[in-house]
A and B are shown apart, each in its own frame.
Chain A
Amino acid sequence: MALLEIKDLHAEVGGKEILKGIDLTVEAGEVHAIMGPNGSGKSTLAQVLAGRELYVVTGGQVIYDGKDLLAMSPEDRARSGIFLAFQYPVEIPGVSNLYFLKAALNTIRKSRGEDELDAMDFLNLVREKMKLMEMDQTLLNRPVNAGFSGGEKKRNEIFQMAVLEPKLAVLDETDSGLDIDALKLVSTGVNAMRSPERAMIVVTHYQRLLNHIVPDFVHVLSEGRIVKSGGKELALQLEESGYAGLGIHDEEAA
């Protein structure tokens, strides 16, 4: 059975239909890239998978790990292994990164039937993962994302992913706004987490990221539908001839 199966998914926001029938199957161990012009619905898909209520599902089905994903609360989705790296991570003044991550990890561990980590074990785990992302440890005592640079926020997302160890990670433009060094770091972090039990959906505009995180499949989303799917060479082809080469026009430019 596939880890994730999306069937004819429709969703709208503010009364406007954005997703117009998405079909996508992701097996454990696979990495799927989703590309597509601005406004085509990539983030909408990612947010719907994570359970954001703002996006209203109007049709279709999502089966995750044998369960009806759409019937689950956002926190239950996270507890059962879904992780969304936000395109725009949210700043939360007044809540420290450390407190936040500990609360998150311990609720997730509890729901997996594992013991809560004590302060020392937690700190050791967090330090190890921060090193991997070359993040300054002082960030731990700062409020979640508050005053972080764009790059720091993206790295913080991948750092959280490394700590929470999801089964299905959805990375929404984690590469945007990163310089080459940060991109390599993030890619290394992501690659280190690739495993036969874990699947990833990587939303990106650029081939650049896919040189580092080599996908098994590439899908092109346009106007709320997947209009083309292929192997990693599809991303290269897009790089060469753009969406126009596929007969797709850029929606924001249109």
Chain B
Amino acid sequence: MTAVAEQTGAWLAEFTGLATVAPWAQELRETAFQRFAKLGFPTTHDEEWRFTNVAPIARASFKRGLAAGQVTGLTGGAQAGTLEEARQHLGRLAAFDQNAFVALNTAFLENVVAIRIPHGAVIQEPIQITYNGVAGHATHPRLLIVVGADAHCTIVESYTGAGNYFTNAVTEIVAGDRAVVDHYKIQRESLEAFHVATLAAQLGRSANFVSHSISLGGALVRNDVNVVLSEGTEATINGLYIVNGAQHIDNHTSIDHAKPHGTSHELYKGILDDQARAVFNGRIIVRQDAQKTDSKQTNKNLVLSDDAVIDTKPELQIWADDVRCTHGATIGQLDAESLFYLQSRGIGKQQARSLLTYAFAQDIVDRIKVPALKDSLERILFEKFHEHREK
């Protein structure tokens, strides 16, 4: 057997054990599985995975778990859709021809959470979808959110769990013209878990899309965010990753300005301690058509130890000429002068360090518009940095 076949063999057994679904969905699954079997898991020779070795996932064997997303907040016209309703969108945005994990997710299509926001509906309450990982299991959460034109909504995806398991999630969001979508993904997986997730969003004309990806947990984490803008679309793609111990987090984003007058703001901030490793790769595409694009990308990293490693890279593909694109990345330590200033006022060194670390994350937390979410995140971060100083 070839290496690829060895890896995919175990998944084949699980795949054949799946309950059958409607013929069109079955066909999609099979195509996806074949694609997965052909691609195999990526290796570090693959440019997209250069810094992230997924061998621990490829080597592990997991039982097939049930990706049962708990959905709350379906009010004011927001509706749960069926697999049948999802048909026209599923797999259209999250392409699986190049991404083995998306292919695997699509092959195990089951329990799709499909949510539809009708045209013009303004949904006040956040719609929350929560997944809970169970030791020894692999799950493939699949989320599809279709937001009608002029509709407003807030989506919160959360991932938690206990033990060693594998979450392989795919979220597709279709936002209609002038839709306003506020999206959050809160990844608090167990520190032994593997988490691979792709968010693919297609944004309509003059739509306003804000997405925050907060990554705190997981042993090995990879997030892909791929958004495609239309004319006059405004997209804000922010992220915060906080890793320590031997955690590995890889954030790959791709912002595709397909049409003119689009605006994108991207701010990813990372805090690394111990032997943690982080990767940020920010691709910005400005198509030939996309004149008057305004795009700004920033990646800032705070490195608290000597052994933590960050690889950060912007990747600009600009085919239009009348555009404004800026990008910048920083990697720094806690500012010695600020530390001394706090200490000179009686604040202990460790407390001063946690205060400044917390302050670094503050501007991302401040942008969270769901009060309960913001509060809980503030509490989590406070505890995290407090814990850290106690150790």
Contact = CB atoms under 8 A, between A and B. Distances in A.
| Chains A and B come from one and the same complex | yes
Interface of A: 50-54, 73-75, 77-79, 83-84, 86, 89-90, 92-95, 100-101, 103-105, 107-108, 111, 143-144, 160, 164
8 contacts: A51-B343, A54-B340, A84-B344, A89-B341, A93-B362, A94-B360, A103-B355, A107-B351
Contact of B344 (A54, A78, A107): A78
A84 B337 CA distance: 13
A83 B346 CA distance: 9
B339 to A, nearest CB: 9
Contacts of B351: 103, 107
A158 to B, nearest CB: 13
Contact of A95 (B337, B343, B348, B355): B355
A93 B341 contact: no
Contacts of B344: 50-52, 74-75, 77-78, 83-84, 86
Interface in B328-381: 335-338, 340-349, 351-352, 355-356, 358-363
Given A94-B359, A95-B355, A103-B351, A164 B340 contact: no
B356 to A, nearest CB: 7
Nearest to B337: A90
Contact of B347 (A51, A90, A104): A104
A92 B341 CA distance: 9
Contacts of A89: 341
B349 A73 contact: yes
A111 B337 contact: no
Q: What 4 pairs across the A-B complex have the smallest Cβ distances?
A: A94-B359, A78-B346, A104-B345, A74-B343
Given A52-B340, A74-B340, A90-B338, A160 B359 contact: no
Contacts of A105: 346
Nearest to B359: A94
A92 B338 contact: yes
A101 B345 CA distance: 8
A52 to B, nearest CB: 5
A221 B277 CA distance: 50
Contacts of A92: 338, 341-342, 356, 359
A75 B344 CA distance: 6
A111 to B, nearest CB: 7
A235 B351 CA distance: 42
Given A92-B338, A103-B351, A107-B348, A78 B359 contact: no
Contacts, number: 83
Nearest to A81: B346
Contacts of B335: 90
Contact of A86 (B341, B346, B347): B341
Contacts of A78: 343-346
A94 B347 contact: no
Contacts of A73: 343, 349
Contacts of A101: 345
Contacts of A77: 344
A232 to B, nearest CB: 28
A7 B347 CA distance: 28
A143 B359 CA distance: 10
A94 B341 contact: no
A90 B359 contact: no
A107 B349 contact: no
Given A73-B349, A75-B348, A94 B343 contact: no
Given A51-B343, A52-B340, A75-B346, 9 more contacts: A54-B340, A75-B352, A83-B344, A90-B340, A90-B341, A92-B356, A95-B355, A95-B356, A101-B345
Given A75-B348, A78-B344, A100-B345, A93 B336 contact: no
Contact of B346 (A93, A95, A108): A108
A230 B340 CA distance: 33
Residue among B337, B338, B346, B363 having the largest count of chain A Cβ atoms under 10 Å = B346
Contacts of A75: 343-344, 346-349, 352
A54 B346 CA distance: 18
A94 B360 CA distance: 7
A226 to B, nearest CB: 24
B343 to A, nearest CB: 4
B346 A104 contact: yes
Contacts of B358: 94
Nearest to A54: B336
Contacts of B346: 75, 78-79, 104-105, 107-108, 111, 164
Contacts of B349: 73-75
B300 to A, nearest CB: 12
A95 B340 contact: no
Contacts of A164: 345-346
A92 B345 CA distance: 13
Nearest to B366: A94
Residue among A53, A75, A89, A104 having the largest count of chain B Cβ atoms under 10 Å = A75
Contacts of A53: 340
Contacts of A93: 359, 362-363
Nearest to A106: B346
A79 B343 CA distance: 10
A164 B362 CA distance: 26
A62 B348 CA distance: 22
A100 B362 CA distance: 15
